Chains A and B, each alone.
Chain A
Amino acid sequence: MRPVDVGGETDARLVRRAREGDRDAYERLVRRYLKTAYAVALAELGDQRDAEDAVQDSFITALERLDDCRDPAAFAGWLRRIVRNRARSVRRRERVRETESLASAISASSKRDPGGDLERSEIRRQLETALRTLTEVQRRVVLMHDLEGYRHREIAVELDIPEGTVRSHLFFARRALRTQLGDAGHRGHDDG
């Protein structure tokens, strides 16, 4: 899992502080891993709102079980497993969303740039629809690579599959997404 901030306190130190109830430390862990936790949940669920719920629940579960994290330096991997398990649980239950939708909160505050937000929402909707056409492993590979910035080798280790298989999944996932989206507006940069 890729941390967002760099050069700050180590995960191990933040985990130890959070175990003692340090609010600032836990918030920094949340901010550090929010983006990638979200990507993991989205890869499993394919839906923004469900992913947001799963991320929230996962961070609360992680805090409650923080004493079970035997290696605080490996917090990221431990959190990733919690997020994935939570997302799978959500998917199994297909529970009805009862809490206030984050999206409605956003749309209520979108008066600052209605056009930009609407455009972004439309692109996201298209992307989510397209992602749902992929297999689970294709979705995970393409999100890890193109959204989280993982390298092929890192994905292979994380998913426990050969590196060649990762490349193959990435190729077919991109082709399927481009076909669905018609290329426009989703072109990125070449792989490094």
Chain B
Amino acid sequence: MTMDERLDLTALEPDEAQRELLVAAIMQRAGRELERRAAEDVSPIAILSDWMRPALAAAAVVAALAVSVLTQQELTAHVEPGSGLTDALAVPAPVNEWLISDRSPTVADLLIAMDGEAH
């Protein structure tokens, strides 16, 4: 005999009766967890919660992208002098000029302005 021969260690293995007892013991203890999983699997809340995590992750990515794009646009946007609130309120151009130059309109200015509006 040489040391290349395998040792017969099969006596160390559980025999069939032992295996069955072990399997039965394990499955008995596993019962509650398996039932919990089975119940969880069919509940609508569980189904929704399965979707919630990826949906939240996707929403977070979209939000991050949106903030990034908006920030970038704000930084690069060309700001026209006199634009903004007066444009939004549809203030006529001559009035806008008076506001910017901080002077009171003359009668002539008012006539020109009214004439421009009429056309």
Contact = CB atoms under 8 A, between A and B. Distances in A.
A34 B25 CA distance: 12
A56 B6 CA distance: 29
Given A21-B34, A59-B30, A63-B30, A27 B23 contact: yes
B80 interface: no
Nearest to A181: B7
B25 A56 contact: yes
A82 to B, nearest CB: 13
B2 to A, nearest CB: 8
Contacts of B10: 147
A131 B5 CA distance: 17
B27 A27 contact: yes
Interface stretch (B12-20, B91-99, B104-112): B12-20
Given A21-B41, A63-B34, A64-B33, A34 B11 contact: no
A145 B5 CA distance: 11
A64 B26 CA distance: 13
A100 B46 CA distance: 38
Contacts of A64: 33
A146 B35 CA distance: 38
A68 interface: no
A186 B5 CA distance: 10
Prevailing SS type, chain B contact patch = helix
21 contacts: A18-B34, A21-B41, A23-B27, A26-B27, A34-B14, A34-B23, A39-B12, A39-B13, A60-B29, A60-B30, A102-B18, A102-B25, A124-B12, A127-B11, A128-B12, A142-B9, A171-B3, A187-B5, A189-B5, A189-B6, A191-B5
Interface of B: 1, 3-15, 17-19, 21-23, 25-27, 29-31, 33-41
Interface of A: 18-23, 26-27, 30-31, 34-35, 38-39, 42, 48, 52, 55-56, 59-60, 63-64, 102, 105-106, 109, 120, 123-124, 127-128, 131, 142-143, 145-147, 170-171, 174-175, 177-178, 183, 185-191
Given A26-B27, A102-B21, A186-B8, 18 more contacts: A27-B23, A27-B27, A31-B19, A35-B14, A35-B19, A38-B14, A48-B12, A52-B22, A59-B26, A60-B29, A64-B33, A120-B15, A127-B11, A147-B9, A170-B3, A174-B7, A183-B1, A188-B7
